[in-house]
Every structure is written in C-alpha cells, then in structure tokens.
Chain A
C-alpha cells in the first residue's frame, strides 16, 4: 500500500474530529437518568411528531413541484434558463431568517399573496410546511437536475422516435432512470426540512403542538431546561444519522449529484 501523504492525512483527521466531536459532546452530556421523564414530556413528543409530519409534507410538496422544475431546467432549452437556475438556488444561500421574513411579506396577512387570497399561513402547521419547503426544495431540485443531466439521453431519444409523447417519455423512461437521484434528493430535502429553524420561527412562529418543531423546541428548552435541550438534540441527531446511513449507499453510487 502506498503511503498516505501526511499533508493530506493530518488535516483530514482534524476535519473528521471537528465534525464528530460536537456529536460526542452531545452524547457525553446527555442526562441519561432523566431520559424517560424528558421524553415523556408532552411538548417533546409533540415537537418530534410535528417535525416528522411537517418535514415529510414539505418533501412531498418539494417532489410535486421540484421534480418537474428540475426536468424543465435539464431538458428544455428556453431563454433565461441560467437565470432561472440561479433563482432556484437562492434559498440555499439566503439566511433562513431572511427567507422567513420574505415569506411573511408574501404569504402574511398583509402580504402580496396573503392579503389577496385571505388565507392565513403564519402561525399554522401549513405555514411550517411552507417555510420548510422553501428552504429545502432547492436541495431536491439540484439533486434531480444533476441526475437528469447525467442520464443517458439515447433512451429518451429512442422512445421519441418510436412515437412516445414527451409526457410518456418522462413517465416511462426518464423518471425510472433518475429514480435513485430523486430518492437521494428527497432524503436530503427531508433532512434539511427536519432541521429547519430560522424560516420556521420567523414565518410560522412558535407554539407547542402547532408550529413548535424539534429545532425550535431545542432552542427554547436551552433557556429553561438545558438537559431537555441536549436530549432533544440527541433525538434529532439519531434521526438524521439514521437517514444519512440509509442514504449513503445511493449517494455514493450517484455520479450525477451536484
């Protein structure tokens, strides 16, 4: 075996430690004796349930809107495509709190859309889903678009020469081919939605059982009951690790992931 150059090995190990140590810290400081009491607290369970439900709904919303958007970006030539691609990734670089404020200005009671359709999204569970989807959907779009760009176009072309419509080609050829990419994108999107904090607390507020997701519960528990915050963080960590381990195989195999 060839020697690993220390100039690469040392920073690599340091990088790994840097990423893993905070998680070790959580494990070390977890108040194991009070785990049953804290986990049985209705607010913790509510927050966990709410987080899982809203992250899943946000992922479904992102799939319904994001996969067609990715297809449009990858398969259709239209003027301003590069601009659209940049617009889609804006939520990736925008601080989530800013995203939350922007959502308020659009979907709030006095917002551009909110005042017009008379529907009030802030402070509702639907508002949480909207905030999470806003932040997480770009992950899905980027992943699916990458998979689409990496897929072999010849199958689609062959189907077209055999008389298939574009919709049929998408359904029968494209989607099955990029299936792993869609799954990977959906899992990333779900994980991002699960951890969403800034946009949620800004747009949907914080109320136990309705809009208080796990990250919000952790943040607020830190001020009154740090033990509960550590434990809630650990639960969130376990869920994310489970997701990432489940994802890993596909992720590595997916050459087209951007």
Chain B
C-alpha cells in the first residue's frame, strides 16, 4: 500500500520531468526575437560556454533573464574541446560559445549547429603571475629562466593552442610543469602559488585581479582567439537559443564583454 503510493509518486515525478524537458520545443523555431520586449520565451536555455567566459556570461545571463521574464539560463563552463565533445555526444544544450573556431568546427562538422557560427568577441593571451610579479617576468623569454614553473593549457584546448602559437612565434622552447584541461585550472594554479606563471587570457587575468597580475607580451598578437557562438540543432529550447545568441551579438552585451577585457571582433 505504502509502496504503491511511492511508485505513483515516482511516476508523477518522472512525468513532470518529461514535461519540463519538452517545454518550449513545440513552438515554431523562426519567431523574431527582440530582447527586452515582453515575449513568449519560456523554459530554460542551456548554454555551454568556454571557461574563459565564466564571469561575463554569468553577468550577461542575469541581464538576459531580467529582460525575458520566465526564462532561466543555465551555464555549463569547461574547456571548449570538452564541451564540443559533449555536444557531439548528444548533451542536451541550446547554445555553444567556444573559445576557438577549431573547437566550434568539431560541432559544425558533426552537423550539430543550427546556423553558421558568428564570432562575437576575440581574446588575447597574457602571462598571469602572482601578485607583485615575484619572479620578475616581463615576457615569454623569462618563462624559461631556471626555477620558473609554468602551467599551460593542453594543446586540445583553445588557450593551449594559442599558447603554442605564441611560444613558437617567440621562438621560446618552454617546458611547462603541467598541461591543464582548461584555462581556469591553469589560472588557479597561479592563484594557489603552485606555479610562477601561466599563459591565460587577458580576461582571465583581469577577472582574478588582486590574486594574479597579467603581463602583456607582443607575441600574443599572433595568437588571437576568435570566439564563435551558435545555436544548436537539437536544442531543447530553440527559441531561447536564438534569443540568447541574438542577445550576445547585441551592442550592450558586446560592450559588457569589452569592458572585462575582450576585444570586439
């Protein structure tokens, strides 16, 4: 008797979850989107975004939610290559914002994007060092001084690919102590003081200001990353996806991103 009720409860919960999962997917996909207006957007927009976008997307997500009542934006941040694999393997996501065209290509060539991606910002590398720059690092060449421990991103991740390009442009043969799986873990190794320097994006160094300092270097101009964004084909919430992409490409969103150190494309 008690168990029967419990089974009923489980069935009800499962049914509710199923309904929630369908929310928004039964509307025509090509409605015009005007951010800020009262609209028919509902449900959750799931955005997979490069971890270097963490702070600014959290902030923009709140603005988007404020502009569209009843819509909730959930973010999943990680290395772009990890996220791309998750999408290819069927992760239920609406929007993908990558830190490089190469990782976006993983998604587009699997036919998982519903539109051709648009570059919305660009980002440049800096050398993140501890407060006060204790090892006096002024450029890439200083990273191979004895006793300097450096963290890089793994080559599969956009920040790692960019670091590789910048280092070979500078002719510096760097032996890092670790190849981190995304830019935030490289940054946190500097914050914890476990390494003396890491190649991260300017925006990451800015977001952790106080705990790290960013040292600019000329070769970073040769390794500028384009950040493409695209709504996904199998988006559970296609309307929300379109609206969010349009919002990120809008002037106010771009201004917010430029303010934290990104460059306009």
Contacts and interface: CB of A to CB of B under 8 A. Distances in A.
A104 B56 CA distance: 28
A109 B194 contact: yes
Interface stretch (B135-143, B148-156, B201-209, B256-264): B148-156
Contact of A123 (B154, B177, B193): B177
Interface string B162-178: 00000000000000111
Contact of B178 (A109, A207, A223, A224): A207
Nearest to B193: A110
Interface of B is mostly: loop
Contacts, number: 55
Interface string A202-222: 001111100110000001101
B181 A219 contact: yes
A122 B155 CA distance: 21
Instruction: Give the size category of A's interface with B.
Output: 20 to 34
B156 A207 contact: no
A205 B82 contact: no
A206 B120 CA distance: 31
Nearest to B196: A109
Given A205-B178, A206-B154, A206-B180, A223 B194 contact: no
Interface of A: 104, 108-110, 122-123, 201, 204-208, 211-212, 219-220, 222-224, 226
16 contacts: A109-B193, A122-B194, A123-B177, A123-B178, A205-B177, A205-B180, A205-B189, A207-B179, A211-B178, A212-B179, A219-B181, A220-B179, A223-B79, A223-B85, A223-B156, A224-B81
Given A205-B189, A212-B179, 6 more contacts: A104-B192, A108-B193, A123-B149, A123-B195, A220-B179, A224-B81
